[in-house]
Each structure stands twice: as C-alpha cells, then as structure tokens.
Amino acid sequence: MAALIRQRLGECSPAERRVARALLAAYPAAGLGTVAALAERAEVSAPTVLRFLSRLGFGGYPEFQRALRDELTERETSPLTAYRAAERTGEPPAGALARAAARLPEAVSRTLVELPQGELDAAARLLADQQSRVTVAGGRFSRLLAHYLVLHLMQVRGGSRLLPASPVERTDMLVDMGRRDLVVLFDFRRYEEPTLALAREVTARGARVVLFTDRWLSPVAGLAEVVLPGRVESPSLYDSFVPALALVETVVAAVIDRLGPVAGTRLKAMEQAQQEFGIG
C-alpha cells in the first residue's frame, strides 16, 4: 500500500499529496482511524481524502481500510506463523529445489520490474555524491546486506562506512552526523524498533535516508528520501534476501554508471594500495 502511494504521488493534486504524505509519515496507523481524523492530520477536507483513495483504485474508505488490515496481517508473518499455516494445510510441499526454482527467479524479476525508475535514479544520485559521507546499517539479518553494500561503496567512491555494533563506537559515529551525511538503512518485516529510532535521530540531525525494505514497507519509509522495496518470496519459512541482494547489486551498478571515470580511478587507487600494504 505504501509503495502504491509513493508511486502515485506524481499524479496527485497538491491537496492529495498532503493526504499521501500524512499517510506515509505515520504509516499504517494514520489510515486506521476515521476519514475525518486523516483529513485533519493532512489539513484537507474529507472529500479530498476520498478523491485520493479513488485515485489509488479504492471504492471508498472501508475498502481502503480492509486492504490496509490485510496488509498488516502479512507484515506480521514470522517463520513460526508460516510453519503453523503450512501445518494447517496438510498438503505435502514440493521439494526445496522445485520451490526455489519457481519462487526465487520470479521474486527477483518482480522486484526489479516493480522498482520505480525514479527511486533508483535518486538512490544512485545520492550515493554517487562524493561530498556526502555514507553510513550503512542493517538489522539482525539484514546487516549482511548492509555490509555487502558498503564493501562495494568503499571500492568505487570511498567515504563509506558500516555502522558498528559497539555502543561506544556507534555513539561516536552518530554524534557528529549532520546535513552532509547520507544514511542507508535495511529494514524488513518484523521491522526492528532500533532501526526506526536510528532513522528518527539521524533525520532530526539533518541527514538523509535511503531505505532498502520489503513490499509492505518498513515504518522508516515515512522518514526516507528514497525507498527501494523488494519481494521476499522464498522456498522456506524464512523471507528471502535474494531479491534484496539483486536490488543492492542494481544500485551499485547505477552508482558506478553515475560516477563514470571516478569509479575507475578509485578502483585503481584501491588496487595500488592493496599492493603497497601487502593486503590480499
């Protein structure tokens, strides 16, 4: 739903955009109240809210809220709930290889097809800006993706770092954040409160946020300048990071394209430094 709202922003009137931003800023809670409450939050009339929902394809506010509640149920899915659901069906699953062959390629393809070109361009523009300092952070599992991204950025543009796990080092890094900082966050369903708290703190200090998330969108989406959603369908009970990894590699490719010869110069310097310092 949040992804749909962001996709339609460019088609909206100024008043309708206020409704969209009000929803995204407090998603999904802002959509669970009354029409009047949402209109008041957005500082528009109730008919404007309904016109905006019609633009999204909903026949009315009740239909919109049903869709939102259905999405909330999906957002809360965990490996345990997926396991229990599979038990209830009583149907033997196809083999792991067959499931992977069916689900993973489609999940990657849909992730890339559904990605708005404007969001990819905006992410590449921000990440290729060498005047900015890039900090990347993820959650319990998505930290793996964060590390993968930052290793590439270190090679092609420099000025990039992974937010450390140590509280002392993390505080040292965050205390100096400001307008020249770009923070890339990874947050997927069963969204992590510390990631949202981090996003609130860095944006309050003037930093900009690029978010990698799933198609239901992390609560961080309301604070992010760029949102890059991916599919999570997998052959197991766990959400897959394969589509997100494909998205990371697509962003890296776009950043290299935007950097042009600068990326080659940086790579050459890295190779020379490795030889000089006897590193790998």
43: Cα within 13 Å, side-chain hemisphere: 4
Q: Which amino acid is at 184?
A: V
Whether 165 and 33 map to the same domain: the answer is no
84 within some domain: no
185 within some domain: yes
**Ramachandran angles phi, psi of 43, nearest 5°:** 60, 45
Mean pLDDT (whole number) for 37-60: 93
How far apart are the C-alpha atoms of 202 and 174, rounded to whole Å?
8
Q: Give the pLDDT confidence score for residue 94 in this predicted structure.
A: 73
172 within some domain: yes
Q: pLDDT tens digits, residue range 89-117?
A: 555 567 889 999 999 999 999 999 989 88
Whether 151 and 256 map to the same domain: the answer is yes
Nearest Cα neighbor of 24 from 230, 221, 229, 226 is 221
107 within some domain: no
Q: Give the pLDDT confidence score for residue 88 in this predicted structure.
A: 54
81 within some domain: no
Residue after which a domain boundary falls, among 25, 46, 75: 75
Q: Give the percent of the chain with pLDDT over 90.
A: 70
Residue after which a domain boundary falls, among 12, 45, 75: 75
Q: Give the pLDDT confidence score for residue 72 in this predicted structure.
A: 78
Q: pLDDT tens digits, residue range 110-150?
A: 999 989 888 999 999 999 999 999 999 999 999 999 999 99
Whether 57 and 148 map to the same domain: the answer is no
**Residue-by-residue DSSP string for 212-231:** EEETT--GGGGT-SEEEEE-
Whether 171 and 228 map to the same domain: the answer is yes
Helix, strand, coil percent content, the chain, rounded in steps of 5:
60, 10, 30
How far apart are the C-alpha atoms of 196 and 188, rounded to whole Å?
11
**What is the CATH classification number for the domain harbouring 49?**
1.10.10.10
Q: pLDDT tens digits, residue range 167-184?
A: 999 999 999 999 999 999
Is a pLDDT exceeding 70 seen at residue 84? no
Whether 68 and 117 map to the same domain: the answer is no
Whether 62 and 164 map to the same domain: the answer is no
Q: What angle do CA 138, 144, 149 make, to 5 degrees?
A: 80
Q: Which amino acid is at 174?
A: L
Q: Give the pLDDT confidence score for residue 43 in this predicted structure.
A: 92
Whether 255 and 126 map to the same domain: the answer is yes
94 within some domain: no
Q: Give the pLDDT confidence score for residue 89 in this predicted structure.
A: 55
User: What average pLDDT does the chain have?
Assistant: 90
Question: pTM above 0.85?
Answer: no
Whether 68 and 123 map to the same domain: the answer is no
Bridge partners (DSSP) of residue 228 are 212
Whether 164 and 69 map to the same domain: the answer is no
Residues 7 and 115: beta-carbon distance below 8 Å:
no
Mean pLDDT (whole number) for 61-76: 84
Nearest Cα neighbor of 108 from 7, 242, 260 is 242
Q: Give the pLDDT confidence score for residue 237 in this predicted structure.
A: 84
Q: pLDDT tens digits, residue range 3-31?
A: 788 778 778 898 998 898 888 877 778 89
162 within some domain: yes
Q: Give the pLDDT confidence score for residue 140 in this predicted structure.
A: 93
97 within some domain: no
Number of structural domains the chain divides into: 2
Whether 142 and 59 map to the same domain: the answer is no
Is a pLDDT exceeding 80 seen at residue 220? yes
Mean pLDDT (whole number) for 212-238: 91
Whether 119 and 257 map to the same domain: the answer is yes
Q: Give the pLDDT confidence score for residue 125 in this predicted structure.
A: 98
**Range(s) of the domain holding residue 156:** 113-276
**What is the CATH classification number for the domain harbouring 227?**
3.40.50.10490
Confidence of residue 280 (pLDDT cuts 50, 70, 90): low
Q: Give the pLDDT confidence score for residue 27 in this predicted structure.
A: 79
Q: Give the pLDDT confidence score for residue 73 in this predicted structure.
A: 76
Whether 156 and 25 map to the same domain: the answer is no
Residue for token pair 């206020």: 18
